[in-house]
Amino acid sequence: MTDTPSTDQQTALQSWIDDQLSRYTLFDSLRYRRSRRFGWGMRIEHGPLAYQSQKPAEALTEFEEAALAFAACGITGYALADLSYGAGQGGSMLGGLVGRTVSSADALSAVAVFVINDEATYFLKRPQDLDAREIAALIDLVEEEHAAQKLVEIYKRLRVKVRDGRAEAPVIPGDNFNINKWALYAKGGTYFLPVNEITPLVINALVEMFSPEMGLFVIDERNFYQPAGIGKFAMSRGGFLNDAMNGGKVATVQGLEMSLAEAASVEQGMILQNISLMAQSLGLGGYANFARSEFAWFPPLGFRLQTMAGSKYAGAARFMTFFLKLLRRDIEVQFPVGLEKDGQTLLHAYAPPYYPNMTAAVEAWVARKFGKDGIYRGGIGVSDWKDPSNIASKIPVPDHRAVEAASAYTEYIYRHYGRFPAYSAPFRTVIGYQATRVDVDFYDTFYRHDALSDTQRNYPLNLKAPKA
């Protein structure tokens, strides 16, 4: 059983943290930031750093967890959206008008964060998961003079419990590396798992790429470099997409998808860096660690899964698929497409089964921006512009040809590869972060004094830490 601080301890701790957040500088957070993996209740069994903590595992307080969650992805205000919105200028590529503590490609907030502790696993809502009134209320809390004291309230408004207890992926070869076996999912620790959502990022990019002003073209390197469902739009056939191989406007399916997956991973990296900086300012320990598992994380999180043949998932050639099936070696794999809880859809791919086909998914994405209640139309209440309705009404909708090309491309990918996108599942994990209390005795046993900063040494619960 994980211990929890007493009421008096929590009161003293929160007072100390309030003071830390008001006076601790960003410069200090940056220069003292370290991965400090060894926490209360932990044990290293082998090697020259073998050690058994003499302190019982103890959960982070709700305030500490809330502060880390806010650093990860807290809503902080409205995106300035200071772009050129003239025809063909690309301004309407922005897919959101709300800012978080991290920047995001096209303001899409493409990374969702899960908070996992011994008691429960939570999903943190993103701006697109909230209505305008909820967003405005959260921003009001953040803008208060003593906003740090509102972090728990903010945290409670954003979190959705998806299951009791700790969701975790196996720490075995194939799902993780042995370097993490001794430490991951430690009792008392809180694990932050970012999950990258890919489909909106790809569709949003396609609609802009296929605009007449950009006119990019995509070929499928796994289908003899043929047009990826958009041949009829090629200039060589009288269309508007530049398919000249020497024109610098031809991409491959893999090149397109990987560049966008990298954009989501950059956002995830900023989330993890923010968590680590907040952990330092609070006197906590923790570390970023490998969490890239194609399949293992999503069943314990409760994701809706689809099943397909492994050969098709890997994009194997048809003759290879035939022989694998003949030899009965074509295993089935499951991949995530969405997350539902108590009848509410928390995350969903812009793809079947949430839409009847990819054309419907593309149209739904365009409607999210330019439909009756889209962010550039009836939903414009969430904005920092002085006259949002007037400005939004003058932002042109995407060219219908771009939407048609995006629909044709996505239909091709789904038809040929059985899912969208082609090279990965709609949701991906890459790296996670485990936050714990620092075991000062361990570091004093093996390390020089400066391995810990004064923030860890003066952390109230470390000053009078109990023995196990």
Residue 464 has pLDDT above 70, yes or no: no
CA distances, 202 to each of 109, 114, 431 (Å): 13, 23, 21
The CATH number of whichever domain residue 107 belongs to comes to 3.40.109.10
Cβ neighbours around 168 below 10 Å, total: 17
- pLDDT tens-digit map of 242-254: 999 999 999 999 9
300 located within any domain: yes
- pLDDT tens-digit map of 349-359: 999 999 999 99
Measured distance CA(91)–CA(84) in Å, rounded: 5
- pLDDT tens-digit map of 381-433: 778 899 999 999 899 999 999 999 999 999 999 999 999 999 999 999 999 99
458 located within any domain: yes
1 located within any domain: no
2 located within any domain: no
127 located within any domain: yes
- The domain total for the chain is 1
165 located within any domain: yes
Predicted structure pTM score:
0.95
468 located within any domain: no
172 located within any domain: yes
Token duo for residue 259: 């560049």
Q: In terms of residue numbers, what domain contains 401?
A: 7-463
Q: What pLDDT, on a 0 to 100 scale, did the predictor assign at position 226? A: 97
Measured distance CA(53)–CA(61) in Å, rounded: 20
